Amino acid sequence: MKKHVLFIFLLAVSVVGYSQIETPQPSPTAKMEQKVGLTDVTLEYSRPSMRGRTIFGNLVPYGKVWRTGANSNTKITFSDDVTIDGQTLKAGSYAIYTIPNEKSWDVIFYTDTNNWGTPQTWDDSKVAAKVTANVYDMPMKIDTFTMTFDHLSNSGATLGMLWENVYVGVPFSVPTDNKVLANINDVMSGNPTANDYFAAAVYYLQELKDIKTAKEWIDKAMSMTEKPAYWQLRQQSLIYAKFGDKKGAIEIAKKSLAGAEKAGNQDYVKMNNDSLKEWGAM
């Protein structure tokens, strides 16, 4: 019994002895995951705050390599090859370093992602891409360093960096079109479903491709669908309008409007009414 009590006592002392106090980080870490087209982009960085300090030209000197955040180097990961200012970045992970200046920043994508801050020895052979981005003054101050993905589209986005009253953006493009077209060609050579025809037609409409082919595909999709939904009819009406068949577009939009009203979807009611007005039907 005494041995048992002694064992429990020693175990408790051991646990207490190894426990540690956890406190908040001055520059907490953040992780963002963003789908751009069909490409997965992940951003990991630390977020320092101003805390009454002057940042650029002071805490972050002009003309020197900055870790673009705090603590371990900021890291971005792409699931596909991407293009930045005409330069190809292969799929994979990169550290983001910057050289801030008053009017512009150099933004550097570096293949070594295992540095605390900046590398002790800079290696130009590890620079995968380097771009110059303009500095834009903001009317308000951003207290905590923030990175964003803005201007999202099927074909790309802009990596944004904001701190103090400064904004810097780096556009990049992703290979969505090549991937989608290859997928469409593969599916269409087999046994496409109504959903396949519909998705391909809408993509052709959105990306301003051959509208005649888009019309053929949307018609095929509708013919294979027993009761087309109002949101499907909406896309068909837009394709007809783009093709130049305004009469057909109006007729289909009215069907979409009726379906949207029945479903109580006010967004589609408004969109159809707006299009009917634009096409001179109201």
Burial class (CB in 10 A: 0-12, 13-18, 19+), 59: middle
pLDDT of residue 282: 77
List, in order, residues 6 or more apart from 153 with CB less than 8 Å away.
37
**Residue 108 to residues 15, 68, 116, 224, 230, Cα–Cα distance (Å):** 46, 10, 16, 51, 48
Structure tokens that stand for 138 in this block: 């903001």
pLDDT tens readout for residues 135-185: 999 999 999 999 999 999 999 999 999 999 999 999 999 999 999 999 999
What is the Cα gyration radius of the chain?
27
**Residue 28 to residues 23, 31, 72, 153, 163, Cα–Cα distance (Å):** 11, 10, 11, 29, 15
pLDDT of residue 81: 98
Structure tokens that stand for 214 in this block: 């888009």
Low-confidence ranges of the chain (pLDDT < 70): 1-19
- What does pTM read for this prediction? 0.83
CATH superfamily of 176-278: Tetratricopeptide repeat domain (1.25.40.10)
pLDDT of residue 10: 47
Q: Alpha-carbon distance 47 to 103, whole Å?
A: 23
Domain-by-domain residue ranges, the chain?
25-173, 176-278
What phi and psi, each to the nearest 5 degrees, are found at residue 179?
Answer: -70, -45
Beta-sheet pairing, 39-46 with 104-110: unpaired
